[in-house]
Amino acid sequence: MKPNHTIEAALQRKLEERKEQGLYRSLVCSDGLIDFASNDYLGFARKSILGEGSNNLHGATGSRLISGNSPEAERAEKKIASFHRTQAALIFNSGYLANIGLCSAIAGKNDTFICDELIHVSLLDGIRLSFAGRLKFKHNAIADLEKKLKKAQGNKFVMVESLYSMDGDEAPLKEMVEVCEQHKAHLIVDEAHATGVWGEQGEGLVCQLRLEEKVLARIYTFGKALGLHGAAVTGSETLRNYLINFARPFIYATALPPYTYRQIEAAYHLLPSANRQSLVELISYFIQATQSCHRFTFLKSRSQIQGIIVPGNQQAKALADHLFQKGIYAKAILSPTVPAGQERIRICLHSFNTQTEIDFLIREIENF
């Protein structure tokens, strides 16, 4: 039996136990019903308080398990699941809450997370809340991952990002899938920075590599390339139902307002026609342009996340201030966010940037 099937059976058993106890949660759309459930105490969510033409700007009035579920939410989730080629999706109010909700719910104190040393703090916070054990492996190091998997107990969950937010490099997902299958571990991939950018239509790195069936759960964040708010955990229908019942950040948070779900769905409709090629060309131009800049070390990244290593917090801040005074906003990333000696200026490239702007940026770095 494949590892993911094993964990699916365990999740389903817990759901069946909850049904037997009469505690099973499910989502209901309350449109058209007399409301005695929501938190809309003054009726503000039912009326336009922002003027004519804003009737769609109403609130959710409660969590999705009370009164906040809507056709817009379920439509958006179906669109997301279809786009990322998976069974189901569940939207959380942010990427942080999605990661906390998934990690804290899916594992217990007898299980083990095996994490890349550079995963986002939101994943680490979720792992802490799960009370599961945690082992750390060296960044993108398959041999060290395998070594740690041999030490892991209980259900084994390997946690990685597809594209890392500070170094801009991608995880070797194919090799990780092979190792996870050998050790009956479950792979979870945070696609926050790959969403919308990687893949033929922006589906992310997992879809680009055709590994959808090999990954237990993926997290897609809307606050990056989609320019919105919220995030979705994707996977099987069993996983979705399990999170509805056990993920506390989903159960107890007021839902996003319906217009936000419409924005999310609209963004997914736009993704296939987004100007990714322009971004790819700018990344290539940036990499070539930095070859002649020898004063600093640039990250070896082929993604939209680039960076200049500027050792020392004060030095990194000074370069960021210099660029700011010249009309360029590039963020200094300081230790301990990154290891001491690896402080940097993080440069995010966008499809709307120009080659002239890149030339200006590099010229001012050299002038510093």
- Domain of 363? 276-367
Which of 223, 254, 272 is the C-terminal boundary of a domain? 272
Shared domain for 33 and 56, answered yes or no, is yes
Shared domain for 281 and 246, answered yes or no, is no
Q: Outline where DSSP puts E strands in the chain.
A: 88-92, 112-116, 133-137, 156-161, 186-190, 217-221, 231-235, 297-298, 305-309, 331-333, 344-348
Shared domain for 123 and 173, answered yes or no, is yes
Shared domain for 315 and 257, answered yes or no, is no
Which of 247, 272, 297 is the C-terminal boundary of a domain? 272
Shared domain for 185 and 325, answered yes or no, is no
> Catalytic residues, which ones?
39, 120, 161, 165, 190, 193, 224
The token pair that represents 2 in the structure block: 């494949």
The pLDDT of 131-138, averaged and rounded, is: 98
Shared domain for 249 and 318, answered yes or no, is no
- Provide the 10 A C-beta neighbour count for residue 258: 22
Number of folded domains that form the chain: 2
Question: pLDDT-based confidence at 205, cuts 50/70/90?
Answer: very high
- Full-model pTM: 0.91
State pLDDT tens for residues 149-174: 999 999 999 999 999 999 999 999 99
Shared domain for 139 and 25, answered yes or no, is yes
CATH of the domain at 339: 3.90.1150.10
Shared domain for 198 and 333, answered yes or no, is no
Shared domain for 228 and 301, answered yes or no, is no
CATH of the domain at 174: 3.40.640.10
The token pair that represents 179 in the structure block: 């190792």
**How confident is the prediction for the chain on average, in pLDDT?**
91
> For the residues of 17-75, what is the DSSP string, one character each?
HHHHTT--------TTS--SSSS-TTSGGGS-SS-TT-TT-----S-IIIII--HHHHH
CB within 8 A of 48, min separation 6: which ones? 54, 55, 57, 58
Query: 193: closest CA among 226, 236, 215?
Result: 226
Give the per-residue pLDDT at 53. Answer: 47
Give the per-residue pLDDT at 307. Answer: 92
Calculate the CA 117 to chain-centre distance.
17
Which of 215, 241, 272 is the C-terminal boundary of a domain? 272
Kindly report whether the peptide bond that precedes residue 336 is cis, defined as omega within 30 degrees of 0.
yes
More confident residue, 145 or 293: 145
Shared domain for 246 and 333, answered yes or no, is no
DSSP 3-state assignment of 105? helix
Shared domain for 214 and 350, answered yes or no, is no
